[in-house]
Amino acid sequence: MCGIAGIIYRDGPHAVGEDMKKMLQSMKHRGPDSTGYALYGTPSEAFRMRITLADTNTKRDFDFSERLLRRRSEVEGKLRAVGATVTEIDETTDYTSTFTFDFSGDLKTLADQVESVRDTQVLSLGHALEIVKDIGDAETVAAQYNLDKMQGTHGIGHVRMATESDVDIAGAHPYWAYPFSDVAVVHNGQLTNYFYWRRRLERSGHRFQSACDSEIIAVYLAEKMAEGASLEDAMNQSMEELDGVFTYLCVTADSLGMAKDELAAKPLVLYESDNIIAVASEEIAIREVVAGEIETYDPFEGEVMVWTR
């Protein structure tokens, strides 16, 4: 089933971490397996990269913590080797880290190098984007990663009911549009031409982190934007080229987009006002962040909408 939500403020930064947490928690019944956030904080000159050094199903044996430390320093070494200047390493949990660094080279080379370290996944990379995803409901994940105080301009989130791949961090949404900085996707539905697109995108050099069909959307959009398409154009093309039932949300450094398949098989409720746009699978989620009686509607089939902050 899965639940998705997104919010974009038109009047500067708000407590996006807290708002997204409330929206996702109210839709816990749509997916209790894992929760993920893609939040946009204050943009900085430096890059911020969130990585996991081990997944949920990685064996926790006797030298597990030692291996994590080793991997963390290996990642640091790889970053230095490609020419990045690491300024800060934040150990959020024992198996996730956030690296802050200055870098001017090719992001794909950098990300590929980091992922060459065993079991390491790059969750997000960008000047403002932070992807946080883990097993558990929205409140558990928010507390684990201290999202309550996070200020930002927009964000999306996802509660997952796993249908076609494992319950682990790799299978959790949102997906970063590897190797595009500051682009992330959440998806509710199933894609039926997954293997067609996976083979095609792998041949053009993209890599896949998981066996989850939703990852295709992120990589697909990344490919289209690499060819020069705007977010809206790429999303419009996806309506033709992706098969299945889906409603997905995509965020970039300054905008939030939604796309709904031709059958309108997956729900999305939209609320729009002068200073806030909120979308969610169910209206109760929007009510968590907007007080009073509100007017909302469901976008129609085949619709693509993009809002800029």
Partner 1 sequence: MDAVVGESQITYDARGLVEVDDTVLGVAVVKDGKATIDASELTTRKINLEIRSLVYEQGIEDVTVLNPGGKHSLGVGILTRCKMTFEGSLGYFALGVIDGPEVVVNGRVGWSACENMMAGVVVINGNAGSLTGAAIRGGDLVIKGRVGARTGIDQKGGTIIISGDAGSNTGFMMQRGRQLLLGDVGPHLGDSMYDGTIYVAGKVKSLGADCVPGEMTDEDLEFVTRKMAFYDLGTPPELQKFVCGKKLYNYDNLEPSERKLVL
Could you list the active site residues?
Answer: 2
Residue list 233-292, contact with partner 1 (CB under 8 A): 262-265, 267, 269, 282-284, 286-287
Bond into 174 cis (ω within 30): yes
**CB neighbour list of residue 236: distance below 8 Å, 6 or more residues apart:** 304
Among residues 97, 54, 52, 100, which one has the least CA distance to residue 79? 100
- By the 8 A CB rule, do 101 and 86 touch? yes
C-beta closer to partner 1: residue 182 or 282: 282
* DSSP annotation of 177: -
| Cβ-based nearer residue to partner 1, 171 or 267 | 267
Q: Least distance (Å) from partner 1 to the CB of residue 258?
A: 14
Question: In sequence order, what are the beta bridge partners of 304?
Answer: 259
Q: Least distance in Å: CB of 19 to partner 1?
A: 14
**178 vs 271, beta carbon nearer partner 1:** 271
Nearer to partner 1, 174 or 267 (CB): 267
User: Residue 27's CB: how many other CB atoms inside 10 A?
Assistant: 25
User: How far apart, in whole angstroms, are the C-alpha atoms of residue 69 and residue 97?
Assistant: 11
Annotate each residue in 102-141 with x if it binds partner 1 (CB under 8 A) or - if it does not, as one string.
----------------------------------------
Contact with partner 1 (CB under 8 A) among 62, 104, 274, 300:
300
| CB atoms closer than 10 angstroms to residue 192 | 13
- The single residue among 9, 17, 26, 185 that binds partner 1, judged by CB under 8 A, is 26
Positions in 151-210 near partner 1 (CB under 8 A): none
Residue with tokens 């997956």: 266
26/60 Cα distance (integer angstroms): 32
Distance of closest approach, residue 298 Cβ to partner 1, in angstroms: 4
- Closest separation between CB of residue 136 and partner 1, Å? 15
Position 64 contacts partner 1 (CB under 8 A): no
- The whole-angstrom separation of Cα 234 and Cα 224 is 6
Q: Which residue has the tokens 């200073």?
A: 275
Q: Which residues bind partner 1 (CB under 8 A)?
A: 25-26, 28, 262-265, 267, 269, 282-284, 286-287, 293-298, 300-302
